[in-house]
Amino acid sequence: MKIAFFEIGNSYDEYIKKSGLKNHELLFFSEPLSDKNIEDVKDVDILSIFVYSVITKDILDKLPNVKYIFTRSTGFDHIDLDACKRRNILVSYAPRYATESVAEHTIALMLAVARNIHPSVTMTKEGIFKPDKEFRGFELKNKTLGVIGCGKIGRKVVKLAKAFGMNVLIYEKTPDWEFCKRAGVKAVDLDLLLAKSDIITLHVPYLPKTHHLINKKIIEKMKDGVVIINTARGGVIDTRALLEGLKSGKIAAAGLDVLEGEEEFMQKKEGAMSRLNYELIAMPQVIVTPHNAFNSSESITRLIDHTIEAILAFIAGKPQDLVPACI
């Protein structure tokens, strides 16, 4: 079979070429799949992509032989699943590779916000070396953390938060009561979580029903001075509502690894959403990292191994980790 890999670093080309896929025709591209390079892969059978390769109906129409797509990501909102279903194209994702990395990054953002790490480092680099009361922080111990979405990553965040001595509330439509008992956390309705949490962290997939899950009305229900952490997807937060909350002081701070409309922002395109993101990033009480939570040496190694395993499983007629729409 002919297999094309997009958005993949050169350091992994040789690794994949020596794997169980070595007898197949393999193509590697460091950039995302787009109309600019689609002619180079018009006859491929399998695609392996990352989140910036946006798979639309028009893209699929130019790839008549594609039978399988593996996205090297936990999210799959960059793929038109309905178009894939109509074409009988199976789509798999990687739900487990970055659990540890994303959970640790979530806690890192909490700590960075709580202890004013970024402005403190900036001040020190400017030659001011003193413990300024302006950057006085707070401890995580005894604070209440609200976890919205308690899948694999959310559960790992719960475990780490408990190690810091935090009180933890979770919101999940169908709570796992055994997990709650074992972890020493309370499953509550969303309104109670919003009202009681000092810090709220998001661990939900981006789907139509989670678009702008955090919006103006939801923010109004939050505790005054709340901190918001997002390592999920940018679109689960309404950026305008977040900005309003930060300006009013309703939201004290935010730690974000994802942005709404981040593809446009990454490509430095001018637009309404990019302008909002520039304004957001410029705020001193906001820390933004560039969709980097997954990016550890360990998680990338796991991801490449998972990619090889998933493609081989599909070739063997035993596809694994299919996205819900393909099950």
What does the pLDDT read at residue 62?
Answer: 97
Which residues are within 8 A (CB) of 177 and not within 5 positions of it... i.e. 6 or more apart?
187
**Domain span holding position 184:** 99-288
Q: Report pLDDT digits (tens) over 228-273.
A: 999 999 999 999 999 999 999 999 999 999 999 988 887 777 888 9
Q: How confident is the model at residue 327 (pLDDT cuts 50, 70, 90)?
A: low
Pairing of strands 144-148, 90-92: unpaired
> 269 is written with which tokens?
């395109």
DSSP sequence for 157-178? HHHHHHHTT-EEEEE-SS--HH
* Alpha-carbon gap, residue 163 to 100, rounded angstroms: 15
What does the pLDDT read at residue 265?
Answer: 80
How many domains does the chain fold into?
A: 2
Q: Report pLDDT digits (tens) over 27-44.
A: 999 999 999 999 999 999
Are residues 266 and 307 both part of a single domain?
Answer: no
Please tell me which residue in 155, 172, 262, 306 is annotated as part of the active site: 262
Mean pLDDT of 295-308: 95
Q: Taking the chain, what is the end-to-end CA distance rounded to the nearest angstrom?
A: 23
What does the pLDDT read at residue 267?
Answer: 75
Contact at 8 Å (CB) between 255 and 226? no
Q: Which contiguous run of DSSP H or E holds residue 301? A: helix 297-315
What does the pLDDT read at residue 266?
Answer: 77
Query: Is 279 an annotated catalytic residue?
Result: no
Are residues 185 and 282 both part of a single domain?
Answer: yes
* Alpha-carbon gap, residue 217 to 215, rounded angstroms: 6
Query: Is 233 an annotated catalytic residue?
Result: yes
Query: Is 262 an annotated catalytic residue?
Result: yes
Are residues 200 and 220 both part of a single domain?
Answer: yes
Report the mean per-residue pLDDT for the chain. 95
Q: What is the largest distance, in Å, between two alpha-carbon atoms of the chain?
A: 63
Dihedral of CA 93/96/98/103: which sign?
positive
Please tell me which residue in 72, 291, 302, 306 is annotated as part of the active site: 291
Mean pLDDT lowest among 55-59, 133-137, 205-209, 302-306: 133-137
Are residues 42 and 112 both part of a single domain?
Answer: no
Are residues 120 and 84 both part of a single domain?
Answer: no
Please tell me which residue in 233, 260, 302, 306 is annotated as part of the active site: 233
Are residues 69 and 189 both part of a single domain?
Answer: no
Report the share of the chain in percent with pLDDT over 70. 100
Are residues 166 and 315 both part of a single domain?
Answer: no
CATH number at residue 227: 3.40.50.720
Are residues 66 and 152 both part of a single domain?
Answer: no
What does the pLDDT read at residue 326?
Answer: 74
Are residues 148 and 257 both part of a single domain?
Answer: yes
Are residues 272 and 306 both part of a single domain?
Answer: no
